[in-house]
C-alpha cells in the first residue's frame, strides 16, 4: 500500500464515512463466523439498519450457498472490469444486501495491493447507502484477512471455548493489533455448552490480551451450541428466520443489542420454551 494517493483517499474516507465497518474473524476455521455474520446482518436489518454483508472469505465463499442465493456475477468480475458493483450486489436477501465472493478464484494470500484498492473503492461508492458493512472473513491470518481489519471500525473475534480456537484467536488479535495499532476488540464465544466455564475462559483471555497486547477485549455474548444451526445450514436459511426463539437466535440477538448499545433481552421464558420444544418436536 505504498501509493500515496490511495493513502490520502483512505484517510479522507475514514474521517468522513457514514457506515460502520465490522470484520468478523477468528484465526481458526469452522468456529461459526459465517453463521454469525449472516444472523448479525439479519438482526441488524430487523432493527431497521441498512446492512451490507460482504463475503470476504475470498477463497472459500459460501454466504450465497448458505442463503440459497443465485449469484450471476461475483467480485472477480468487478475486479476484472467486467461488471459494475451494482450488477453484483444481491439486494434485499432477508432484509439485507449481499456482496458475493467467488469460490476458488482468489487464494487467501494473493490479494494484491491493486486488488485490495479496487475492493476498497467499492466502499467509496457504497458508503452512504449503508449503516453497517459486515465482512465475513476467512480463517487464518493471511494478508487478505487482516487487511479488512485495517479499515474496520469494529473487529469481532469469534471463537469456541476450546484451547485450539482460543490460541488461534489470540494469534489473530496479536497480529492485527501489532499491524494496525488496534486497542479494542469484541469477542463472541460460540458453540458454548457450559456458560460458567465459558465465562471463566473469557475472563482469563481478557486479562492476558490486556496485559500482553494492550487490547481491551469486550464480550458481546456467549452463543450456545444449538442443533438448529446445522438444520438452518441444510435448509439454507438464517437460524433467526427459522426460529427467532431458538437459543442461537436469542443469543445472537443479545450480541447485536450489546454491540449497538441496547440493553439485553431477558430470557425469562426459556425454561418454558425448552419444555415446549421437547414436547412438540
Ligand atoms: N452455535 C452453534 N451450535 C451448533 N453448531 C454451530 C454453531 N455455530 C456454528 N455451528 C456449525 O459449525 C460449522 C461451521 O460454521 P460456519 O459458520 O461455517 O463457521 P466458519 O465460517 O467460522 O468456518 C457449521 O456446520 C455450523 O452448522
Ligand atoms: Mg465461513
Distance 120 CA to ligand 2 centre (A): 21
Which DSSP helix (H) or strand (E) runs through 75? Answer: helix 75-79
Tell me if 248 CB under 6 Å of ligand 1.
Answer: yes
- Distance in angstroms (rounded) separating the CA atoms of residues 89 and 97: 7
- Distance in angstroms (rounded) separating the CA atoms of residues 225 and 100: 27
> Considering the domain boundaries, does residue 2 fall inside one?
no
> Considering the domain boundaries, does residue 7 fall inside one?
no
User: What is the pTM assigned to this prediction?
Assistant: 0.92
Distant-in-sequence, close-in-space partners of 100: CB < 8 Å, separation ≥ 6: 55, 61, 63, 64, 69, 71, 74, 75, 88, 90
The answer, yes or no, to whether residue 190 has pLDDT greater than 80, is yes
Residue length of the chain:
281
Highest mean pLDDT among 7-21, 58-72, 193-207: 193-207
Confidence of residue 273 (pLDDT cuts 50, 70, 90): low
**Which residue's CA is the closest to the ligand 1 atom numbered 8?**
32
Q: Which residue has the higher pLDDT, 35 or 101?
A: 35
Please provide the average confidence, as pLDDT, over all residues in the chain.
Answer: 88
Q: Which has the minimum average pLDDT: 7-21, 27-41, 59-73, 103-117?
A: 103-117
The answer, yes or no, to whether residue 278 has pLDDT greater than 90, is no
Confidence of residue 103 (pLDDT cuts 50, 70, 90): low
> Considering the domain boundaries, does residue 211 fall inside one?
yes
Q: Give all strands (DSSP E) within 26-78, no chain letters.
A: 51-56
Distance 32 CA to ligand 1 centre (A): 4
The answer, yes or no, to whether residue 48 has pLDDT greater than 70, is yes
- Distance in angstroms (rounded) separating the CA atoms of residues 208 and 243: 37
Percent of the chain exceeding pLDDT 90 equals 62
- Ligand 1 atom closest to Cα of residue 38: 17
pLDDT of residue 108: 45
pLDDT of residue 263: 85
**Domain residues for 178?**
18-280
> Considering the domain boundaries, does residue 94 fall inside one?
yes
> Considering the domain boundaries, does residue 214 fall inside one?
yes
CATH number at residue 47: 3.40.50.300
Tell me if 33 CB under 6 Å of ligand 1.
Answer: yes
- Distance in angstroms (rounded) separating the CA atoms of residues 250 and 273: 12
C-alpha distances out from residue 79 to 23, 24, 246, 258, Å: 21, 23, 40, 36
Q: Residue 191 CA: which ligand is closest?
A: 1
pLDDT of residue 80: 86
> Considering the domain boundaries, does residue 192 fall inside one?
yes
Q: Which has the minimum average pLDDT: 10-24, 98-112, 129-143?
A: 98-112
The answer, yes or no, to whether residue 77 has pLDDT greater than 90, is no
> Considering the domain boundaries, does residue 12 fall inside one?
no
Tally DSSP H helices, then E strands, for the chain.
Answer: 13, 8
Q: Which residue has the higher pLDDT, 110 or 36?
A: 36
Distance 14 CA to ligand 2 centre (A): 27
Cell numbers standing for residue 4: 500515496
Q: Which residue has the higher pLDDT, 181 or 105?
A: 181
- Number of domains making up the chain: 1
> Considering the domain boundaries, does residue 229 fall inside one?
yes
| pLDDT tens-place string over residues 213-264 | 999 999 999 999 999 999 999 999 999 999 999 999 999 999 999 999 988 8
Confidence of residue 131 (pLDDT cuts 50, 70, 90): very high
122-136: average pLDDT = 93
**Which residue's CA is the closest to the ligand 1 atom numbered 25?**
230
131-143: average pLDDT = 87
pLDDT of residue 106: 57
Amino acid at each position: 500500500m505504498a501509493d500515496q494517493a490511495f493513502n490520502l483517499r483512505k484517510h479522507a474516507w475514514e474521517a468522513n464515512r457514514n457506515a460502520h465497518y465490522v470484520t468478523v474473524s477468528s484465526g481458526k476455521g469452522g468456529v461459526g463466523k459465517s453463521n454469525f455474520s449472516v444472523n448479525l446482518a439479519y438482526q441488524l436489518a430487523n432493527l431497521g439498519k441498512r446492512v451490507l454483508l460482504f463475503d470476504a472469505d475470498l477463497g472459500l465463499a459460501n454466504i450465497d450457498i448458505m442463503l440459497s442465493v443465485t449469484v450471476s456475477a461475483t467480485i472477480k468480475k468487478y475486479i476484472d472490469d467486467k461488471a459494475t458493483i451494482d450488477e453484483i450486489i444481491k439486494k434485499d436477501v432477508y432484509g439485507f444486501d449481499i456482496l458475493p465472493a467467488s469460490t476458488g478464484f482468489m487464494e487467501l494470500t494473493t490479494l494484491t495491493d491493486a486488488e485490495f484498492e479496487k475492493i476498497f473503492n467499492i466502499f467509496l461508492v457504497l458508503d452512504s447507502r449503508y449503516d453497517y458493512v459486515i465482512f465475513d472473513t476467512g480463517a487464518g491470518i493471511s494478508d487478505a484477512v487482516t487487511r479488512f481489519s485495517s479499515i474496520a471500525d469494529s473487529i469481532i473475534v469469534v471463537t469456541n471455548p476450546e484451547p485450539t480456537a482460543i490460541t488461534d484467536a489470540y494469534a489473530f488479535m496479536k497480529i492485527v493489533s501489532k499491524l494496525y495499532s488496534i486497542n479494542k476488540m469484541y469477542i463472541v464465544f460460540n458453540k458454548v455448552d457450559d456458560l460458567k466455564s465459558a465465562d471463566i475462559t473469557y475472563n482469563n483471555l481478557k486479562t492476558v490480551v490486556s496485559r500482553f497486547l494492550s487490547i481491551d477485549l469486550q464480550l458481546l455474548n456467549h452463543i450456545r451450541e444449538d442443533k438448529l444451526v446445522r438444520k438452518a445450514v441444510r435448509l439454507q436459511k438464517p437460524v433467526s428466520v427459522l426460529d427467532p426463539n431458538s437459543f442461537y437466535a436469542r443469543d445472537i440477538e443479545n450480541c447485536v443489542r450489546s454491540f449497538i448499545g441496547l440493553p439485553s433481552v431477558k430470557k425469562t421464558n426459556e425454561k418454558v420454551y425448552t419444555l415446549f420444544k421437547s414436547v412438540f418436536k
